[in-house]
Structure 1
């Protein structure tokens, strides 16, 4: 059985209706998907804060903790329970905004690009469409994420944290370094991390889900919605592992730049100096914990996102009809 892309619509007259009140592929549909993305990304990323703080600190200083468990115990003993939640507010806010842009715009660009490509090309080159749509969405979504990522990294990699809340961090960075010199100084490396990450995340998810339904004995439409969201979770976890590996070197560099870049340095100078200090091997510090974190995150996000789509009366993502 060959599964064709479910986003191809032959003509405006063929536009399907969702089970609810919102017409599929309408502006309201894309806005709803954006809301679903915010719900999927904000809480899930924030729930990983205890792992994230250890990962970021070990990326900045590999000798700080002997292991992830040692890092967790050290933070609890020296900073208390609140310490392991450092950066929670900035993480929640930033990734809620980013999730809204990423998922909503992905659905929008995926649909628009398929229409521009035409039916034959859309079916033949669907992987290219997934990659193009996800890259376009992430470029925009990172504009919303970048300030909060800068605050989060600064909070997590300074001991004691340089700000007690996301708002305090925002005000401090703007006062000391300005909006573009402080909150957006990590935008370029963030793009280098997030755009490949999202391209792999969405394309590998779509292709994994497609492969799962090709392997199963029945077409997607004959499985219950609960079973379909289960496929989404499995496909999301596989996609998350791939994402973690592909984007990890850039993730390390983002953490280092936000924590260590000197005001007098250009981006190229900062990257060159940091790479000279840590080398190629240093770009992979913290990879095991990030594989676990991102695999779990990605699986949960697709589960939440597709569960939201089901609740709204929309079809689940990927795998044909």
Structure 2
């Protein structure tokens, strides 16, 4: 069992490092995905120009978002326990709780980031100020519900799959998985979850980029999906699926691999510290 301080420290430190490394390293892929999903289309949204537009907001929000997610995730796991046949359900509930909390930080970051990505002539700070002046504080949380609705199914698939693959691999080799093996499991889990939930991501992007006062801006996922389907058909619902799957596969490998590596290091430190005291 992990030391109480160990799991809190590892969740905050490992989550923060993992989130920042992924969001910064793979930001160009995220920009391409956002522009493919925008109503104006890839080229009009900027194409491959200004591929790092919006990186400031991503860099600022990555660490606290990931740290809050993993702190909640590990806390629920520790309270509920995972040594039973219900462990997949525990992982689903823990991931869902983590996403609801993390979205309190993630959504304002996503609003600013995606608007900057879709308008390469404006910086993150300019987008932030414009959003506050035209929509107020509530504007920063446009799409909160649609983001949560997207993230929960994604986490329902990704984290139980990740934990299950690690468990199977560990059982096969009769030793706990190494961080690099956790990375492989994370890539597979992320790729699977991202492909299945792409339509929800498209709806979320459209809602966040919609003009103030429009029907889309009200945040109805069903309406957003209908609009996309009427404009571009079934294919439109999966706009940006390749860069999204690529981004989340690589991101899942880095994110979950770095997380397990730092978590293992922190736990080893606390175990050694307790051993030295006794």
Q: TM-score when scaled to structure 2?
A: 0.86
The CA deviation string for residues 107-161 of structure 1, in whole angstroms up to 9 with x for no partner, is 00111122xxxx8xx5111111111111111111111111010000100112x43
1:92 corresponds to: 59
2:79 corresponds to: 112
From 19, 22, 30, the equivalent of 1:41 is 19
1:51 corresponds to: 29
The alpha-carbon distance between structure 1 residues 25 and 167, as it changes in their structure 2 partners (threshold 3 A), is: farther
The CA deviation string for residues 17-38 of structure 1, in whole angstroms up to 9 with x for no partner, is xxxxxxx352563243122101
2:243 equivalent to 1:289: yes
| Consecutive unaligned residues in structure 1, runs of 5 or more | 1-15, 17-23, 76-82, 221-226, 316-321
Give the CA deviation at 1:294.
0.6
Give the CA deviation at 1:280.
3.0
Q: TM-score when scaled to structure 1?
A: 0.75
Alignment of 1:297-308 (within 5 A): 297-308=251-262
2:35 and 2:41 in contact (8 A); partners too: no
1:60 corresponds to: 38
1:262 and 1:270 in contact (8 A); partners too: no
Which of 1 and 2 has greater Rg?
1
| Consecutive unaligned residues in structure 2, runs of 5 or more | 270-278
From 88, 93, 106, the equivalent of 1:132 is 93
The alpha-carbon distance between structure 1 residues 310 and 27, as it changes in their structure 2 partners (threshold 3 A), is: closer
Alignment of 1:19-30 (within 5 A): 24-26=2-4, 29-30=7-8
Equivalent-residue separation in structure 2 for 1:25 and 1:106 (angstroms) = 16
2:13 and 2:262 in contact (8 A); partners too: no
The alpha-carbon distance between structure 1 residues 25 and 168, as it changes in their structure 2 partners (threshold 3 A), is: farther
1:146 corresponds to: 107
Equivalent-residue separation in structure 2 for 1:214 and 1:184 (angstroms) = 43
| Partner secondary structure for residue 86 of structure 1 | coil
| Partner secondary structure for residue 251 of structure 2 | helix
Range moving further from structure 2, 302-311 or 184-193:
302-311
Count residues with an aligned counterpart. 264
1:201 corresponds to: 158
1:219 corresponds to: 175
